[in-house]
Each structure stands twice: as C-alpha cells, then as structure tokens.
Amino acid sequence: MNQLWLVRHGQSEGNRNHCFLGRQDPPLTDLGRKQMQSIRALLPNQPDQIWTSPLQRASQSAALLFSQHAQTDSRLMEQDFGAWEGLTREEAEQQDPHVFAAWATGDPVFAPPKGESLFSVQARVESWLADFQKKGSPQAVVVAHGGLLQTLCCRLLNTPLSNQWPYVFQQGGIAHFRFLGSRAQMIGFYPGPLSEVSPSNQSK
C-alpha cells in the first residue's frame, strides 16, 4: 500500500518576521533546523522518493531530514504573493485595503497584485500529482510550503479549496496519507512541533 507524507519546512528568516514569503528564498533559522530534528522520528527512515520545492527553506529542511537525494520540482513552490512578498499582513492591508479585504475572504479565484490565485496553485499541484501517481512509490515524502501543502491536501481528499483550513501546517507540520487504489486517505495529521518551538502560521 503506497504512502505519502507531506512536511512543511522549518522556520526561515522571513517566517520569523511574519512576512508573506511566497517566492522569496531566505534560509532556515537555527530554530527551523531544530524543528526538523524534532520531527525526524515521525517520518520513514528510507523513503523511496523525496520531493521538495527548490526554495532553500524547503530544500534545506529535506536535507536535514534525509540523507538521500531529494528531487526538486518548481511545481511544489509556494503561492506567488506578488506585490505583497516581503510585507507583513498589516503592511499589505495598509497598502491595498480593498484588495486585501477581497483576498481575506479566501476566494480561490482572487490573486494578490501581480501574484497567483489558489486556483493557479491547484493547477500546479494537479500536474505534479498526476506525474507522481504515474510512477507510484511505496513510501514518498514531499517537503514544501504551508499554502501548497494545504492545496495538495484538498486535492488528495477531493475537497474544495474553501475547505483547506482544517489542514493548517505549522512549521514542521506533517500529514500522512495512504493510497487505496487511486483514492487517498489521511491517516495522520500532526500540525507541528510544540508551540514554543513553532511560531504562528501567518507567513508561508
């Protein structure tokens, strides 16, 4: 029976400042590295496949978790937040109050200025998942980003994007799936390390 683990990266410099990161590429902090060490025992020792976003907060996390080579795929990058990248939520709201209010409704069609909608993220996720399922893998791990992983959870469970909020990954959060034929079943969800290790999920 094939199994898949989804892992959110550890804290990065941008996460510490609670900014919209998106395609920005800061490294892990010391805390982020500790978060990865704290979850290692919850993951398979020698997975058959390891996939990661090319952004270094994800690729560094994968390297800390596993000795094997990880396959990078740009389709696993975080949502592009466009003009809001590097800003806090408060700064983005001050800059574009009406646009921010529209984004905050969670409408998957809406994209931040010069950014990417959740529907666009979903299209990337579906493309990657189709390729992954063609190959098959008894044990596979994806190390990526909070928003991307929430979208992937919705796709695996065939739920609409509006239902993504039960699957909020703190830094170091893990979702565990098994496949029954083509159908995925979530068999475990670990939001993340203890609160003193993992800060809020404001930024991606």
- CA 179 – CA 197 distance, rounded (Å): 31
pLDDT digits (tens, 9 = 90+) for 53-110: 999 999 999 999 999 999 999 999 999 999 999 999 999 999 989 999 998 988 999 9
Choosing from 9, 85, 116, 145, the catalytic residue is 9
Q: Which pLDDT score, from 0 to 100, does residue 204 have?
A: 60
Q: Is 9 a catalytic residue?
A: yes
What domains lie within the chain, and their CATH numbers?
Answer: 3-81+116-190 (3.40.50.1240)
Angle at 117 between CA 54 and CA 19, to 5 degrees: 60
Q: Which pLDDT score, from 0 to 100, does residue 201 have?
A: 45
Host H or E run for residue 89: helix 89-95
Q: What band does 173 get if pLDDT is binned at 50, 70 and 90?
A: very high
Choosing from 18, 69, 78, 93, the catalytic residue is 78
How many Å separate Cα 123 from the centre of its chain? 15
Q: Is 98 a catalytic residue?
A: no
